[in-house]
């Protein structure tokens, strides 16, 4: 599942494949950019902001533009050697192809593909909160933004990228398990918001640079999470069956014993 760490890894793959290269061809299979041709453009760098991918380019006339994409649930970018077969996904899912002398980058199932002046990048990524994997990560600002909506459930607040950017459903579920917090707890009743935010950042950072996401420390299949994707399986701490239910627009997984419901902060003691 593409969360902040996966997007960070993807940005690095694109950077290694294309940074500094002059594009020899492009193919956009999205209506809004169908006539765009980036031949002759130079790739300056590839970066991530939360779950957004930003490929920064320079046009032959020197103008700086950013190619934005979002992976959502199914998206992926792959880098291939010239002449190598593109085998990662079915061809009908290809949305963007960028060719350079040394590599071909293929974007599958991408969303929000857009090209805008780099100076206006902020308009592409929306009102993102602090990026957990960004150079400018600011935990105090993330806590401030979360606390500004005290009645929201913590499960939904952690997914709201305007509060902090990079947490998807897997890390949300896992962080709340590790902190012993029910996903339905209102933000105002979370005993230690700063500790929750800090743990989320540590989990994402620990998974940078690899494609298997683990919150347990194990990279073995079936052992990489405490609650996410484990409905009806025994809790790794107490043996109780893990539950799954809808919360807002997403499903959530939790252990009803390790993550008791709280409505007031003083219930914590
Ligand atoms: Zn448990």
The per-residue pLDDT for 261 is 85
Q: How many whole angstroms from 239 Cα to the centroid of ligand 1?
A: 6
C-alpha distances in Å from residue 112, one per residue of 32, 56, 118, 256, 264: 10, 16, 16, 37, 39
What pTM, to 2 d.p., does this model score?
A: 0.87
**250 given a catalytic annotation:** yes
Q: How many whole angstroms from 38 Cα to the centroid of ligand 1?
A: 53
| From 236, 243, 244, 250, active-site residue | 250
Residue ranges, the chain, pLDDT below 70? 1, 263-269
**51 given a catalytic annotation:** yes
The per-residue pLDDT for 122 is 87
Sheet holding 104-108, edge to edge: 25-28, 94-99, 104-108, 76-80
- 33-83: pLDDT as tens digits: 999 999 999 999 999 998 999 999 999 999 999 999 999 989 999 999 999
The per-residue pLDDT for 263 is 66
Q: How many whole angstroms from 132 Cα to the centroid of ligand 1?
A: 27
The per-residue pLDDT for 210 is 87
| From 51, 56, 78, 179, active-site residue | 51
C-alpha distances in Å from residue 37, one per residue of 44, 89, 94, 99: 17, 23, 16, 11
**Which residues, listed in sequence order, are joined to residue 106 by a DSSP beta bridge?**
78, 97
The per-residue pLDDT for 265 is 54
The per-residue pLDDT for 264 is 57
């Amino acid at each position: 599942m593409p969360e902040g760490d996966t997007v960070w890894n993807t940005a690095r793959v694109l950077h290694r494949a294309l940074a500094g290269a002059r594009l020899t061809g492009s193919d956009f299979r999205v209506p809004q950019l169908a006539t765009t041709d980036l031949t002759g453009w130079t790739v300056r760098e590839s970066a991530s902001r939360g779950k957004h991918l930003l490929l920064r380019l320079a046009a032959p006339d020197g103008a700086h533009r950013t190619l934005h994409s979002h992976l959502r649930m199914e998206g992926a970018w792959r880098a291939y050697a010239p002449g190598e077969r593109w085998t990662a996904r079915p061809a009908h899912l290809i949305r963007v192809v960028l060719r350079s002398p040394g590599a071909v980058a293929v974007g599958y199932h991408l969303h929000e593909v857009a090209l805008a002046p780099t100076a206006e990048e902020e308009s592409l990524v929306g009102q993102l909160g602090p990026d957990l994997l960004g150079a400018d990560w600011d935990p105090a600002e993330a806590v401030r933004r979360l606390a500004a909506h005290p009645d929201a459930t913590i499960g939904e607040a952690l997914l709201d990228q305007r509060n902090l950017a990079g947490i998807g459903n897997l890390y949300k579920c896992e962080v709340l398990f590790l902190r012993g917090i029910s996903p339905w707890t209102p933000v105002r009743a979370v005993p230690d918001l700063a500790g929750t935010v800090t743990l989320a950042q540590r989990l994402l950072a620990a998974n940078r640079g690899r494609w298997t996401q683990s919150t347990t420390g194990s990279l073995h299949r079936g052992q990489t999470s405490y609650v996410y994707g484990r409905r009806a399986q025994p809790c790794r701490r107490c043996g109780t069956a893990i539950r799954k239910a809808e919360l807002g627009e997403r499903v959530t997984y939790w252990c009803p014993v390790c993550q008791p419901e709280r409505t007031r902060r003083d219930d914590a003691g």
